Amino acid sequence: MQTVLNADELNESKQAPPVEGVIPVILKRWSPRSFADREVSPALLRNLFEVARWAPSSFNEQQWRFLVGRRGSATYDKIFQVLGDFNKKWARLAPVLVLDVAKSKFTQSGRDNRVAYYDLGAAASYLCLQAAALGLAAHQMEGFDTEAARKAFAIPADYIVGTVIALGYLGEPGALGDEQMIQKELAPRTRKPLTEIVYLEWGKAAEI
């Protein structure tokens, strides 16, 4: 028989193993699918972007742009409509949907910004960490129709469409109403050992 944890118990079970000296919120953050039926205040929402913008970017281009939809707004509906079917099933629970986008050329020189998307990922990661610090939860999605998103918001051709971030307060796993999704929600967070990702030469683990 499936034992479903409540939101607090679940949050507890999702903590990454302690690492000495680590920024606590990095261990605390995870990407839920169940969100509580509770609005995010404008002040907290504003705080997330205040923080995200302190990410570094090449030539301090700050090429990130965020389209922010609160439930009930046209922006929210447009973002929701472009999501893939699987993501629609759970993201409907999130009170805020954010679409992030990156300018692909440097403003000053006009040359291509090779790391536009990389730096966008950094700013989005700051946003999600800060959400966790404020007791919120965030889940980034790549599963949506990027061209439909571009059309819905008339995003210029020199901007790259990034992800949709679902934001809100963590909800009960049972609210997902789908056994497969509940299983995903309860699964432990896992990561590769360092030997598989930290190299001295290609494919040869660094002994650190």
Are 33 and 181 in contact by the 8 Å Cβ rule? The answer is yes
**Residues forming a β-bridge with 204:** 201
Binding flag, residue 111, a copy of itself (CB under 8 A):
no
Identify the three-state secondary structure at position 151: helix
Binding flag, residue 10, a copy of itself (CB under 8 A):
no
Backbone angles phi, psi at 13, to 5 degrees: -70, -15
Q: What Rg, from alpha-carbon coordinates, does the chain have?
A: 18
Binding flag, residue 81, a copy of itself (CB under 8 A):
no
Task: For the segment 47-66, give every residue that binds a copy of itself (CB under 8 A).
Answer: 47, 49-51, 53-56, 58, 60, 62, 64-66
Figure out which of the listed residues 126, 167, 169, 173 binds a copy of itself, where binding follows CB under 8 A: 126
- The residue count for binding a copy of itself (CB under 8 A) is 71
Figure out which of the listed residues 122, 148, 175, 186 binds a copy of itself, where binding follows CB under 8 A: 122
Nearer to a copy of itself, 93 or 102 (CB): 102
Identify the three-state secondary structure at position 135: coil
Largest alpha-carbon pair distance within the chain? 61
Task: For the segment 144-173, give every residue that binds a copy of itself (CB under 8 A).
Answer: 146, 153-156, 162-163
Q: How many CB atoms lie within 10 A of CB 186?
A: 15
Task: For the segment 189-208, give every residue that binds a copy of itself (CB under 8 A).
Answer: 189-192, 194, 197-202, 206, 208
How far the first Cα of the chain sits from its last, in Å, is: 43
Figure out which of the listed residues 1, 3, 42, 179 binds a copy of itself, where binding follows CB under 8 A: 42
Task: For the segment 170-189, give every residue that binds a copy of itself (CB under 8 A).
Answer: 189
Encoded tokens for 166? 């679902």
CB of 54 to a copy of itself, least distance (A): 5
Distance (Å, rounded) from C-alpha 48 to C-alpha 199? Answer: 34
Binding flag, residue 104, a copy of itself (CB under 8 A):
no
